[in-house]
Amino acid sequence: MERAHNFFAGPAVLPLSVVEETKDAVMNFANLGVSIMEVSHRSKEFDAVMLETQKDTLELMGLSSEDYDCVFVGGGASMQFAMVPMNFMHTKADYVVTGEWATKAAKEAKLFGEVVKVASSEDTNFNYLPKTFAWSPDADYAHITTNNTIYGTEWKTTPDTGSVPLVADMSSNMLSRTLDFSKYSLIYAGAQKNLGPAGVVMVIIKKAWLEKANQNIPTMLKYKIHVEKGSMYNTPPVLPVFVVGRTLKWIKALGGLEAVEALNAKKAALLYDMFDAYPEFYKGTVKAKEDRSMMNITWNLPTPELEDKFVAEAKKLRMLGLKGHRSVGGCRASTYNSCPIESVQALAKFMEEFYTANK
């Protein structure tokens, strides 16, 4: 089967080799004669998958298992909007509001204490990232969303929050570039954008901070329980964890985060070059170039009718997922780690041809 050019924002493209390995595991996992969907999560074969996936995660991030834990839980990143404050908010927390998901995270946190909005870009519909912050020195933690899938902005540096623990939602750019992950006390990422399929969330927690977590909360919502039980307190999402594990192996085989970052930068440049060459036609929605995301590239055309035509003609060429999020319209190409550069080259070529035919 010829693969389409997949630009969906999530669930999103996976490496073809990982899809093929998963297909094999769905039919016959670890040569057991049963599917990965049928095997006991307590079996030594799946236990090995979980342990190796956790090990590879920390290794790629340059983190020590003595200082950090990696767990996999269900509920999507949206569950983390509540789990973070439930575990770690005692009185108040700082939130930087840079998009829809950051807004929802702050709203959930208000159920558990005071939320201080230290910066926001909502004044211009989230088309930039704030540059100045008024961090609260007595906050229990500070929360950021490192990549904004809908609006196409991405943090390029890690903010300095002083002694206040930093928490990040990295769902749409996790493991897409090199980063000093040790600056974070907790990172969470829904898998379906840049790591694997929907159904599992990767959570990285600093052990020292975990000791300060609240205890009087429901058992299933305690990070400490999931850490102590090795992500096996309840039945984990077995198939998604397997796919994440194979995706991590794929990243390692490419050369790790340095190689992935170089490739992602090259892919993004192919499309941003179109914006810079034809700014009155391909109107990038992000105000400042330094805020442009490598993962989610967003733009408008001169009219909504042209946008519809662009998406329709691209679909005929098997370029899928180019319609912008329903809340903002326009166009969007998600060029996650697994998006082949050949797909991005094909899209850039189509954009050149579409401009020539419709300018």
Give the chain's largest Cα–Cα span: 63
**Alpha carbons 245 and 328: distance in angstroms, whole number:** 34
| Among the listed residues 144, 143, 140, the one whose alpha carbon sits nearest the alpha carbon of residue 156 | 144
DSSP class of residue 165 equals P
Please list the pLDDT of the chain residue by residue as tens digits (359 residues).
Answer: 789 999 999 999 999 999 999 999 999 999 999 999 999 999 999 999 999 999 999 999 999 999 999 999 999 999 999 999 999 999 999 999 999 999 999 999 999 999 999 999 999 999 999 999 999 999 999 999 999 999 999 999 999 999 999 999 999 999 999 999 999 999 999 999 999 999 999 999 999 999 999 999 999 999 999 999 999 999 999 999 999 999 999 999 999 999 999 999 999 999 999 999 999 999 999 999 999 999 999 999 999 999 999 999 999 999 999 999 999 999 999 999 999 999 999 999 999 999 999 99
* Rounded Cα distance, 272 and 78, in Å: 30
Strand intervals (E) in the chain:
5-6, 68-73, 92-97, 114-120, 142-145, 147-148, 153-154, 166-169, 186-190, 201-206, 283-284, 296-300, 319-320, 331-334
> Which positions are catalytic?
101, 169, 193
**Tokens encoding 115:** 């939320």
Residue 305 host element (H or E): helix 304-316
Q: Which residues pair with 96 in a beta bridge?
A: 119
Burial of 213 (0-12, 13-18, 19+ CB in 10 A): middle
Tell me which residue of 338, 302, 346 sits closest to 322, measured CA to CA.
346
Residue 13 structure tokens: 């493209």
The domains located in the chain, with CATH, are 16-253 (3.40.640.10), 256-358 (3.90.1150.10)
Amino acid at 353: E
CB atoms within 10 A of CB 205: 24
Rounded CA-CA distance 176/188 in Å is 14
CB atoms within 10 A of CB 2: 4
Distance between CA 350 and CA 279 in Å, rounded? 16
Using the structure block, give the residue that is written with the tokens 């829904």.
Answer: 190
